[in-house]
């Protein structure tokens, strides 16, 4: 559980980021702004994608930081299950809330995702340019729900693996912005990249 602990990218992570950048370049995908989480692993991913695909350099966007997981950060799933059995036994509808462990509450995460969605909507109204966001699986999942669902559900099953490419097209319909999920491609479908084996 990484959370907001500031781990660097592994060699596998660097290979995946380079593959993602190459995949975006091969498809001629372009963007007008590029935002990245301030955490090192995402900031380095954004730099590598920029080197491979070009476009504007990444700017730091604090709201893209991963969910704060409190005392769970730095532990494997098996360590969490041993030390915090209540987390390991949670129903899927209870995931995404780390307040019990000194981390971020579900409500706080939703507020952060909603605030970023409003920034993206304002940018869209001002010019409609495509924006590249480089963040983290936990927060990206919450942001995706904010963009494509109205009302926003607690659970929407989408795997946000490392270096997945997700394209959401925002459209205003009857005064409400709603996102259209155009594609969601895991890095494994972008070409061969070795994966590190990690426990659940």
Q: How does pLDDT run across 120-163, given as a tens digit for each residue?
A: 988 888 887 899 999 999 999 999 999 999 899 999 888 899 99
Tell the burial category of 157 from Cβ atoms under 10 Å away from its Cβ (0-12, 13-18, 19+). exposed
In DSSP terms, which residues pair with 34 in a beta bridge? 132
What domain range is 133 assigned to? 11-190
Q: Are strands 33-36 and 131-134 parallel, antiparallel or unpaired?
A: parallel
Asked whether the predicted pLDDT for residue 173 surpasses 90, the reply is no
Question: Would 196 be classed as within a structural domain?
Answer: no
Q: How does pLDDT run across 59-97, given as a tens digit for each residue?
A: 999 999 999 999 999 999 999 999 999 998 999 888 889
Asked whether the predicted pLDDT for residue 165 surpasses 80, the reply is yes
User: For the chain, what percent of residues have pLDDT higher than 70?
Assistant: 96
Roughly what angle, to the nearest 10 degrees, separates helices 137-148 and 106-127?
A: 60
Question: E strand or H helix at 17, and its extent?
Answer: helix 11-26
Q: Which two tokens stand for residue 117?
A: 């969605």
Angle at the Cα of 165 (from 137 to 179), degrees rounded to 5? 85
Give the count of domains, the chain.
1
Question: Would 72 be classed as within a structural domain?
Answer: yes
Question: Would 81 be classed as within a structural domain?
Answer: yes
| Nearest residue to 165 (alpha-carbon basis) of 82, 60, 45 | 45
8 A C-beta contact, residue 18 and residue 189? no
Question: Would 23 be classed as within a structural domain?
Answer: yes
Q: What is the CATH number of the domain that holds 87?
A: 3.40.50.1240
**pLDDT band at residue 200 using 50, 70 and 90 as cut-offs:** very low
Question: Would 1 be classed as within a structural domain?
Answer: no
Question: Would 197 be classed as within a structural domain?
Answer: no
Asked whether the predicted pLDDT for residue 105 surpasses 90, the reply is yes
Note the pTM of the prediction, 2 decimals.
Answer: 0.90
pLDDT given at position 199: 44
Q: Are strands 59-60 and 131-134 parallel, antiparallel or unpaired?
A: unpaired
Cα separation, 52 vs 77, in Å, equals 34
Question: Would 4 be classed as within a structural domain?
Answer: no
Question: Would 2 be classed as within a structural domain?
Answer: no
């Amino acid at each position: 559980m990484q959370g907001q602990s500031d781990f660097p990218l592994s060699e596998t992570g660097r290979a995946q980021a380079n593959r993602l950048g190459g995949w975006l370049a091969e498809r001629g995908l372009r963007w007008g702004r590029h935002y990245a989480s301030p955490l090192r692993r995402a900031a380095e991913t954004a730099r590598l994608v920029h080197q491979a695909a070009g476009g504007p350099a990444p700017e730091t966007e604090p709201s893209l930081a991963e969910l704060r997981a409190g005392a769970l950060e730095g532990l494997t799933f098996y360590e969490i299950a041993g030390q915090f059995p209540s987390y390991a036994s949670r129903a899927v509808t209870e995931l995404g809330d780390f307040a019990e462990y000194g981390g971020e509450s579900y409500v706080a995460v939703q507020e952060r995702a909603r605030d970023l969605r409003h920034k993206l909507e304002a940018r869209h109204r001002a010019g409609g340019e495509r924006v590249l966001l480089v963040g983290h699986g936990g927060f990206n999942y919450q942001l995706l729900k904010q963009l494509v669902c109205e009302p926003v559900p607690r659970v929407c099953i989408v795997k946000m693996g490392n270096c997945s490419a997700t394209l959401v097209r925002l459209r205003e319909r009857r005064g409400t912005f709603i996102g259209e999920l155009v594609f969601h491609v895991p890095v494994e479908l972008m070409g061969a990249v070795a994966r590190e084996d990690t426990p659940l």
